[in-house]
Each structure stands twice: as C-alpha cells, then as structure tokens.
C-alpha cells in the first residue's frame, strides 16, 4: 500500500504516522456531503448539532460549504464522551448540554467525526429525539465510519451522510484526538498507540 507519512508526537514521543486522508481529501469529502445535504433539504433551515469536541473541525468546514450553497442554518453543540484512550467505554457521559435547548419543530442534523461501535451516535440520537422538544426531523452526518467495528446489535446502523468508510484503525487529526492530543494535525493519520507508549516497538 502506498502511504504518505508525517511526523506526529503523542505522550511526549515523536514518530512517523501514515496519512489516511490528507486535509484536501477530507475537505473534498465534506464538500460532497454538503452538496448532498443541500440537495436533500432544499431550502429548509437546518439546526446543526455538533458532537463536541471531535466534530468541531468537520462541522466548521461543513458550515462553510453549506453557507456557500445558500443554506440557512444555526449551530449548537453537545459534548458527550464515550472513549477513554483508544477504547470505547460503552457509557455515554454528558459533559455539555445544548446552549439553546429547544429543538422543537427543527430540522436537526447531528454532526459526528467518526462512528466506531455506533454506540455514541445511536445513544445521542435517542436523547435528542425527546430531551429538547420534538424535532421536525433528525438526521446524522459523520465524516468517518468504521463499519467493521459495529456492535452486533447496531449492525447496519449508519449515518444518513457518510464521508469515508475506513478500516479498523485508530485515527487522529482534523479534530480527532487521542486523549486530547493530535486534534490540531491537519491530516487524518492513523496511529498504533504502542509506538508511543512502548519505546521498544519504535
């Protein structure tokens, strides 16, 4: 497999990381998603709910594209966390509620960075359907998806709009983090956590 690499530092250790998607590729994917969304919603106003913090970068570029396509939208966010390190904990912690907790009658579009087991987004959806009033519609967009990682009971669960399906690798960059590190990397790289924790594998 041909891969480009970039230097990245985690846990105070520097290594080379293979680039899964360059920033340009990610942006092209977001542009494609924005065109699909604009076509589907016609002129309806959208209420973007960003799954913070990871989806902030994706949502920022998506909002810019939607704006250029003439869409009307509002932006809000919730902060939920289901991951510790590189593993899902299977529990959704609510760290931040919506700033404007009224979704009644709105066309809600949840923006997520990545779907892995499917737990985070499926649980988030359950809650968004009633906690803040009854939305007129609720759909989801995810930049990345790892379908091979889905929990058995969530097999077939997908976002309404998916940027890229990827293999079972842990990715960082473009807003995605490993324990809060790596969000600022422009490209999406994949990492082997052991390269940074166990020096003998370097």
Q: Which residues are catalytic?
A: 116
C-alpha to C-alpha distance for 95 and 125, rounded to whole angstroms: 16
Task: Show Cβ contacts of residue 197 under 8 Å, excluding neighbours closer than 6 positions.
Answer: 11
Asked if 110 is part of the footprint of ligand XMP (rule: CB under 6 A), the reply reads: no
Asked if 54 is part of the footprint of Mg ion (rule: CB under 5 A), the reply reads: yes
Asked if 187 is part of the footprint of ligand XMP (rule: CB under 6 A), the reply reads: no
Residue 19 interacting entry, from Mg ion, ligand XMP, none, C-beta within 5 to 8 Å by type: none
Q: How far is the CB of 152 from ligand XMP (least distance, A)?
A: 13
CA dist list (Å): 134 to 42, 107, 169, 189: 21, 10, 36, 38
Query: Looking at beta carbons only, is 161 or 178 nearer to ligand XMP?
Result: 178
Q: Given the rule CB under 5 A, which of 37-45, 46-54, 56-64, 124-132 is the region that contacts Mg ion?
A: 46-54
Count of residues of this chain found to bind Mg ion when the rule CB under 5 A is applied = 1
Query: Looking at beta carbons only, is 71 or 172 nearer to ligand XMP?
Result: 172
Backbone angles phi, psi at 62, to 5 degrees: -65, -45
Asked if 175 is part of the footprint of Mg ion (rule: CB under 5 A), the reply reads: no
Q: Could you identify the residue written with the tokens 């995605």?
A: 176
Asked if 118 is part of the footprint of ligand XMP (rule: CB under 6 A), the reply reads: yes
Q: Site for ligand XMP (CB under 6 A): which residue of 176, 185, 188, 189?
A: 176
C-alpha to C-alpha distance for 186 and 200, rounded to whole angstroms: 28
Q: Site for ligand XMP (CB under 6 A): which residue of 52, 71, 108, 115?
A: 115
Q: Given the rule CB under 6 A, which of 34-42, 98-106, 171-179, 192-200 is the region that contacts ligand XMP?
A: 171-179
Contact 123, 67 (CB under 8 A): no
Asked if 117 is part of the footprint of ligand XMP (rule: CB under 6 A), the reply reads: yes
Contact 128, 135 (CB under 8 A): yes
Torsion, CA 72, CA 76, CA 78, CA 84, rounded to 10: 80
CA angle 38, 65, 61 (to 5 degrees): 130
Q: Which residues bind ligand XMP (CB under 6 A)?
A: 51, 54, 82-83, 88, 112-120, 170-172, 176-178
């Amino acid at each position: 497999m041909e891969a480009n690499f970039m230097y990245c530092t985690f846990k105070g250790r520097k290594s080379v990381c293979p680039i899964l998607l360059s920033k340009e590729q990610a942006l092209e994917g977001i542009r494609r998603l924005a065109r699909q969304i604009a076509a589907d919603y016609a002129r309806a106003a959208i209420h973007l709910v960003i799954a913070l913090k990871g989806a902030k970068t994706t949502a920022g570029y998506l909002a810019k594209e939607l704006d250029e396509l003439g869409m009307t939208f509002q932006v809000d966010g919730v902060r939920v966390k289901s991951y510790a390190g590189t593993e899902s904990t299977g529990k959704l912690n609510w760290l931040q509620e919506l700033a404007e907790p009224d979704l009644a009658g709105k066309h809600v579009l949840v923006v997520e960075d990545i779907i892995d087991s499917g737990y985070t987004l499926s649980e988030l959806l359950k809650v968004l359907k009633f906690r803040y009033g009854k939305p007129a519609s609720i759909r989801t967009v995810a930049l990345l998806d790892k379908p091979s990682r889905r929990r058995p009971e969530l097999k077939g669960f997908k976002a309404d709009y998916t940027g890229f399906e990827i293999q079972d690798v842990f990715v960082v960059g473009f807003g995605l983090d490993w324990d809060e590190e790596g969000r600022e990397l422009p490209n999406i790289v994949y990492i082997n956590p052991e390269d940074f924790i166990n020096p003998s594998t370097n």
